Structures are given as C-alpha cells and as structure tokens.
Amino acid sequence: MKTVQRCDDCGTELGPGDTAMACPKCEGLLSLVYEAPAERGEALRARFDSRLVIPSAPVIPNPSPVIPSEARDLHSSGVWRFRELVLPDVDSADVVTHPEGNTPLLARDSVAQWCGVDTLLMKHEGANPTGSFKDRGMTVAVTQARRVGASAVACASTGNTSASLAAYAAHARLPALVLVPSGQVSLGKLAQSLAYGAKTLLVRGDFDACLRLARDAAEKLGVYLANSINPYRIAGQKTIVLELLQQLRWRAPDWIVLPAGNLGNTSAFGAALREAVALGLIEKSPRIAAVQASGAAPFAASYRDGFRERHTVRADTVATAIKIGDPASYSRAVRVIRETNGVVLDVPDAAILDAKAIVDASGVGCEPASAASIAGTRELASRGEIKRGERVVAVLTGHVLKDPGILLDYHKEASRTKYANAPTEIDADLSAVERVLKLSRTAR
C-alpha cells in the first residue's frame, strides 16, 4: 500500500501528492495513512534504537562501512529516525533536514516541587534548530513541498511556525510567505522570519484571520500551505512522543501535559500514542492533558461541555503563541482527549508567567506558552487529578529567548510579580557591587 491522505470524517482518499488541505467532499481534516511496518513490539523498538546516534558525532569524517551515508543523515534526525511512522516511502534525497529533534528530557527538582508531583520530566522542544517543536513538522512539510514541486510555501502563524518555515524553506531554496498578526508576534520569532529570508506579511487582524487568508492564498494562488492542517506536519510532530517514549526506554509515563492552541500538536500526540499502542511499542497510553491560557480557551470550554458544542472566542493572552480563538484541528483533538481519557484545562496568565519564572530560574528556560504545561501540571496535581507517584512528562514547546519582552516586563515589575529577579543599576565602583552581594547573601 502506498501512502494516501484520508479524510477523518468521510473516509475520502486523496493521493499523497494532492495539495488540498481539506477533504474536497466534506471539508474534513486529512490524515496520512500508510502501510504499517512489518515489525511489532520489541523488533520495532530495536530498529528505532539501533539508529540512535550521538547528535554531535562527526557524521562525514568517520564513515561507518555498514550504514550508507544517506541513511546516516536521516538517522541523525529525531524525526527521520522514526520514518516508518512518518513517511515510509520517502526518498532520502528529497528530505529537507537540519537535522531536528533529539531534544532533551530534563528533570529539575525545583520545578517538580513547585508543581507538587514526584516525577516530572520536561521534554524541551525549544532545543530544536529554530527553538520550537515546529521544526519536527516542518522538515516533513517542506520535504513534501519539494516532492510535489511546489513553487512557494506559505503559512499563517503566531510566530514559531513562521520562524520554522522560513528556515526550512531557506534550506530547500523555496520562497516562503508568512502571515502573522501585526503587533502580536514576539520579538525573537519575528526577527527569525526576517533573518531566514521569508516574505513577512504583518496582517491587520488576529491569528484566526491570518489562517483564513493563508488558506485562501494556498487555494487560489497555488502556494503550498505548511500549517498544521497539513497532514505532513502532523506526521512529523508525532515524533515528539515517539522520541520521549524512546528516551524512557519505552516505558510510557502516566501523563503527557502540553500547551494547546490550534490543536495540531494535541492531534499529533494522540496519533502517535494510538500507533505506539497498536504496534506494541508501549503497552498502555498515557493520559493527555491539554492546557490553554484562560483568555484563549475555546477547547477547554468545549471540554467542560462534554464536547457538545464547538466554542470559539476572541483570544487574549500574554502567551501569544497560543492566542487562538478558533482552533483548526478541533475535531481531531476531541478524539484524542476521548481516546486517552485526557483532560483539557485552562490556566490564567499570572499562573503561566509564574510557572515560566520557575522553569527559567531552574536554568532550563522556556517561552510563555510552554510554561502553560507547567502551570497546568501544578493545577492538576492540586486538584488531585495527577496523583502522587504518577510519572509526568510536560512538554516545553519553545525556547526562553523567543519572547524576551514578556520576560523583562515580568522581572522589572518586582512589586507586582511573585518571582521577579529585577536588575539593579549601580555606579561603576566596587563598594556598590559589595553592597549588592551582601544583600543577596542575606536574602538567601
């Protein structure tokens, strides 16, 4: 069986090279369907494990006679290492890889204690090449753009998707067009899009308006759309889960907690867990907790309704990455929450910023939206939903330097924020340094 794209709702099938981003019959979301690998369980785990390479190892100067060089390049990516579950029939010559993935799974006692859980690991997707998990989907989407002979690629974004698309398009030498809400994208992300050479459009409107416009442009102007409604993006993002399971030696945690905006990642996580159980990679699925910011929480509102109604809101939150009022992958994400006995919750901006300050002060650091995972973990632990002794993996989706503006505001507003570390201006003399040093020693 060749890879096909299939509508989640009515089952209509499209060829792998079809660039439609929704079912032509019912407008449902499309998923990739491919032949499952012949191996199961231990054999498949062993195949993936055999490809683990030390990311910093010199690939070219020390060629191994047993691994052909093209395969070796793919092995060094934390996405393509799992290619049987991403895009099994890809020709390695088409793959546009940085490489990406191979992100760390970090334990910090201070963060676990703040959350009130015994075992907390942070999967830090900010360690990807452009500083967010988007690179995992983008390597696949831009590879597919190359396979279908796209003349240009485009996306709507709250900032990270655009930074990632800009970088991968540059690598593939494809022109990129990115549409972002004017005045609502953090400094680091906007700077990246410009730096990597994307044509950057500051749209007078919110993210939801940008996405409508990008979909229109893709349909009518023939550019290849790289948003997470693109099933190739989702296929790549599944590897966040596959990689963390591999790092845990295929012993699944009890919970995976992630921030939720447009719900592409929630959908990808669910697909990965579904396949991991079906293929015997793990025995039992973890529960997924999707965390939204209270000012941008349409999915949480629908969850509280038992998913009877699809809510939309006018989004407002400091976590600009997840400032989304009408999530595109809603129906897929509902299925994921149901299948994994998952939960959806929302946390206020103040809790997100405090969680971020705790993660930052542990030396790990993350962007505001990522800290929703940590604030959400604390909330679930305080409700008793996450029980003591349960193992939690919280996903940090983006790097601390993505949004320096919010960070500086938090630390400079020491009178209003809980964990501020305000800078001190001094005269250029040693006694001033000594005074500050004494003060900080007595404060400990």
d(CA 383, CA 393): 18
The widest CA-to-CA distance across the chain, in whole angstroms, is: 75
Paired with 292 in beta bridges are 346
Identified binder of ligand F0G from the candidate list 79, 166, 174, 263, rule CB under 6 A? 263
CB 297 within 8 A of CB 346: yes
Distance of closest approach, residue 290 Cβ to ligand F0G, in angstroms: 8
Q: Is residue 259 close enough to count as binding ligand F0G by CB under 6 A?
A: yes
Phi, psi of 81, deg, nearest 5:
-60, -25
CB 29 within 8 A of CB 331: yes
Residues 6-65 that bind ligand F0G (CB under 6 A): none
Nearer to ligand F0G, 179 or 282 (CB): 179
Q: Is residue 158 close enough to count as binding ligand F0G by CB under 6 A?
A: yes
Identified binder of ligand F0G from the candidate list 276, 369, 392, 393, rule CB under 6 A? 369
Nearer to ligand F0G, 120 or 366 (CB): 366
Q: Is residue 231 close enough to count as binding ligand F0G by CB under 6 A?
A: no
CB 391 within 8 A of CB 255: yes
Distance of closest approach, residue 136 Cβ to ligand F0G, in angstroms: 11
Tokens of 284: 């039992």
Distance of closest approach, residue 144 Cβ to ligand F0G, in angstroms: 18
Nearer to ligand F0G, 158 or 377 (CB): 158
Tokens of 86: 């991403």
Identified binder of ligand F0G from the candidate list 358, 370, 371, 406, rule CB under 6 A? 370
**What is 104-131 written as a DSSP string?**
-EE--HHHHHHHT-SEEEEEEGGGSTTS
Q: Which stretch binds ligand F0G (CB under 6 A): 143-151, 365-373, 384-392, 414-422?
A: 365-373
Q: Is residue 262 close enough to count as binding ligand F0G by CB under 6 A?
A: yes
Task: Give whole-number Cα distances, 259 to 222, 249, 405, 417, in Å.
Answer: 32, 24, 20, 22
- Contact letters for ligand F0G, residues 294-323 (x by CB under 6 A): ---------------------------xx-
**What is 159-195 written as a DSSP string?**
SHHHHHHHHHHHHHT--EEEEEETT-S-HHHHHHHHH
Query: 273: closest CA among 394, 405, 265, 373?
Result: 265
d(CA 171, CA 166): 9
Q: Is residue 192 close enough to count as binding ligand F0G by CB under 6 A?
A: no
Q: Which stretch binds ligand F0G (CB under 6 A): 44-52, 92-100, 157-165, 167-175?
A: 157-165
CB 166 within 8 A of CB 176: yes
Q: Is residue 235 close enough to count as binding ligand F0G by CB under 6 A?
A: no
Burial class (CB in 10 A: 0-12, 13-18, 19+), 341: exposed
Q: Which helix (H) or strand (E) covers residue 351, if one does? A: helix 349-361
Q: Which stretch binds ligand F0G (CB under 6 A): 28-36, 362-370, 424-432, 433-441?
A: 362-370
Phi, psi of 152, deg, nearest 5:
-160, 160
Nearer to ligand F0G, 265 or 340 (CB): 265
Q: Which stretch binds ligand F0G (CB under 6 A): 60-68, 156-164, 338-346, 355-363?
A: 156-164
Residues 93-152 that bind ligand F0G (CB under 6 A): 132, 134
Q: Is residue 397 close enough to count as binding ligand F0G by CB under 6 A?
A: yes
Q: Is residue 3 close enough to count as binding ligand F0G by CB under 6 A?
A: no
Q: Which residues contact 38 (CB under 8 A, 6 or more apart)?
A: none
Distance of closest approach, residue 333 Cβ to ligand F0G, in angstroms: 8
Q: Is residue 159 close enough to count as binding ligand F0G by CB under 6 A?
A: yes
Distance of closest approach, residue 58 Cβ to ligand F0G, in angstroms: 32
The CB-side HSE value for 418 (13 A sphere, CA atoms) comes to 11
Paired with 120 in beta bridges are 392
# binding residues, ligand F0G (CB under 6 A): 23
Q: Which stretch binds ligand F0G (CB under 6 A): 91-99, 153-161, 374-382, 433-441?
A: 153-161
Q: Which stretch binds ligand F0G (CB under 6 A): 29-37, 70-78, 154-162, 421-429?
A: 154-162
Q: Is residue 288 close enough to count as binding ligand F0G by CB under 6 A?
A: no
Q: Which residues bind ligand F0G (CB under 6 A)?
A: 132, 134, 157-161, 228, 259-266, 321-322, 367, 369-370, 397-398
